[in-house]
């Protein structure tokens, strides 16, 4: 145990602790550059793959359904991955989300019945104002239910890909797996969802690339292929590219082009191509590729694309800035908030949405031009992959163009708050199994970066002391991240009034709406054998 504790403390103190954690399970990258695409992925060892049971009968005869990707598809993916990655020797790490990113599987079918709470049940009151209530709140609390089967997602409910399997293909449930799992963990079978929040296609995009290398999209594909023997009509839903785009955005240099941008894009495209061909060459029948969303609507990029409130501006016109309800910002605490176009709240004839808010005031800078050009080029190169795949597998790949559809999904929705997020607080609790759970320690906003990981590992090291001093053979440490909203005065208290849950990820109702769009894409693929690419492809 002393050796274990020493390792954790060393990790905390070291500036390269991420590399130290990840290096023990490092695997070689996939093989690329094969002149014959039909040979890609055939090097993957399948001798230990286990035959999957076919899923229950469904209208399309689909035998198996799998999910690959990033946080847009993640259900228990990152939490399982981090628990596996950080567990050492005979000490197990249990990693879970709590609060708004935790939901009860008992309620999985209730989410499709929800609609945006456009006239929210409660407005956070300003000084001297009374709170407004609406008894027609249609929300189902995430954690209500008779079981303790709580799931972790980057949303307050199941993701679109998860819902697609349940609604369209009659999949009862899906459990996570990853390339580090060497034995089946669910009644003699491996899990069927490999999506991990933070996953990328490129292995070299950020400081977290080493930690998440085993979750890169090509390694997700390798894990699926090496762990499963699937039936004759297996389907994969895959969302990837968003984190690669974020990494490319971070390379912006106002003084000239960055080679790092090209490096990330080249590798990401190469890995996506490898992944798609590997899946199809090893027997997957159909792939639904969900592209990354456009970046201008994501709250994380608000200050890049929109005018924001500056209470210290000496220019009177620049300092006049309105919120989503047409109210003038009058508090310095709102610094950095999006400025909207209108200065008056207007009554709408739509009873479900009585307030018509303005739209954010866009700005054009060299940085926004760079972001737009980079994302368009990334999307164009994915289109080239689609065209190449169709020349070998005419009915093998269908794309859901989230990049071009995201704006209309947002703008046509009935959410009251479309451009700002609900969650703005994250707390961390770490404790040894058998000890009382401590209060959450606020850690600010959540981002899977070296600072956040350092805090987690430091607390694990402290909890390891309790494990070491205990005579119990149950050597486990629990790690929980709690996500919750603390909306500012004048804004909705109900998460269902928001399009975005946190500063990147949409709420569960958006996922439910997108799932219905995914069903349409799949039906066209199955019913009409119709294949279109993305962007300008016909």
Query: What pLDDT sits at residue 393?
Result: 95
pLDDT of 403-427, one tens digit each?
888 888 887 777 888 888 998 889 9
Q: Cβ distance 66 to 236 under 8 Å?
A: yes
Span 365-396, pLDDT tens digits? 999 999 999 999 999 999 999 999 999 999 89
For residue 200, give Cα distances in angstroms to 214, 243, 256, 267, 346. Answer: 10, 6, 25, 10, 43
Q: How far apart are CA 294 and CA 403, in angstroms?
A: 5
- Closest Cα partner for 359 from 407, 405, 317? 407
Neighbours of 342 (CB within 10 A): 14
Q: What is the pLDDT of residue 264?
A: 95
Q: Low-confidence residues of the chain, pLDDT below 50? A: 1-32, 118-121, 125-141, 145-146, 343-356, 530-538
Predicted local distance difference test score (pLDDT) of residue 3: 40
Q: Which domains, ranges and CATH numbers included, belong to the chain?
A: 54-116+148-299+392-532 (3.40.50)
Q: Which residues make Cβ contacts (< 8 Å) with residue 535, sequence separation at least 6?
A: 379, 380, 383, 401, 403, 404
Please tell me the pTM assigned to this model.
0.86
């Amino acid at each position: 145990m002393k050796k274990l504790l020493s390792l954790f403390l060393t990790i905390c103190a070291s500036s390269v602790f991420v590399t130290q954690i990840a290096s023990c399970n490092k695997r070689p990258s996939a093989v690329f550059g094969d002149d014959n695409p039909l040979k890609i992925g055939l090097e993957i060892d399948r001798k230990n793959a286990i035959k999957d049971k076919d899923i229950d009968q469904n209208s399309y005869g689909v035998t198996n359904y799998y999910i690959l990707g990033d946080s847009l598809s993640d259900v228990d993916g990152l939490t399982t991955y981090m628990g596996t990655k950080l567990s050492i020797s005979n000490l197990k790490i249990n990693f879970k989300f709590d609060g708004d990113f935790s939901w009860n599987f008992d309620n999985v079918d209730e989410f499709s019945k929800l609609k945006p709470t456009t006239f929210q049940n409660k407005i956070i009151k300003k000084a001297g104002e009374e709170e407004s209530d609406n008894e027609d709140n249609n929300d189902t609390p995430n954690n209500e239910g008779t079981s303790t089967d709580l799931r972790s997602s980057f949303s307050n409910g199941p993701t679109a890909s998860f819902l697609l399997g349940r609604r369209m293909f009659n999949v009862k449930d899906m459990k996570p797996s990853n390339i580090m799992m060497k034995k089946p963990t669910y009644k003699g079978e491996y899990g069927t969802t490999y999506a991990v929040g933070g996953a990328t296609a490129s292995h070299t995009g950020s400081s977290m690339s080493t930690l998440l290398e085993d979750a890169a999209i090509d390694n997700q594909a390798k894990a699926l292929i090496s762990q499963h023997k699937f039936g004759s009509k297996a389907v994969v839903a895959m969302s990837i590219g968003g984190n690669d785009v974020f990494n490319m955005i971070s390379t912006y240099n106002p003084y000239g082009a960055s080679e790092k941008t090209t490096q990330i894009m080249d590798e990401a495209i190469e890995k996506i191509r490898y992944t798609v061909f590997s899946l199809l060459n090893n027997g997957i029948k159909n792939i639904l590729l969900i592209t990354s969303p456009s970046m201008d609507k994501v709250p994380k990029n608000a200050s890049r694309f929109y005018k924001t409130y500056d209470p210290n501006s000496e220019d009177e016109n620049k300092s006049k800035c309105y919120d989503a309800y047409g109210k003038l910002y009058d508090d310095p605490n709102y610094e950095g908030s999006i400025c909207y176009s209108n200065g008056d709240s207007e009554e709408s004839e739509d009873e479900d949405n009585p307030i018509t808010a303005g739209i954010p005031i866009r700005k054009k800078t060299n940085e926004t031009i760079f972001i737009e050009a980079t994302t368009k080029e990334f999307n164009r190169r994915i289109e080239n992959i689609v065209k190449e795949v169709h020349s070998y597998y005419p009915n093998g790949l269908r794309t859901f163009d989230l990049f071009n559809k995201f704006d209309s999904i947002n703008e046509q929705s009935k959410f009251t708050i479309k451009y700002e997020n609900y969650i703005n607080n994250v707390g961390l609790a770490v404790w040894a199994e058998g000890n009382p759970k401590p209060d959450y320690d606020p850690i600010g906003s959540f981002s899977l970066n070296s600072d956040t990981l350092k805090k987690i590992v430091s607390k694990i090291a402290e909890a390891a002391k309790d494990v070491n001093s205990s005579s119990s053979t149950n050597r486990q440490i629990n790690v929980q991240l709690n996500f919750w909203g603390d909306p500012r005065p004048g804004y909705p208290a109900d998460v269902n009034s928001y399009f975005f849950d946190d500063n990147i990820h949409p709420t569960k109702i958006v996922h439910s709406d997108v799932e219905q769009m995914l069903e349409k894409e799949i039906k066209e693929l199955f019913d009409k054998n119709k294949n279109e690419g993305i962007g300008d492809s016909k």
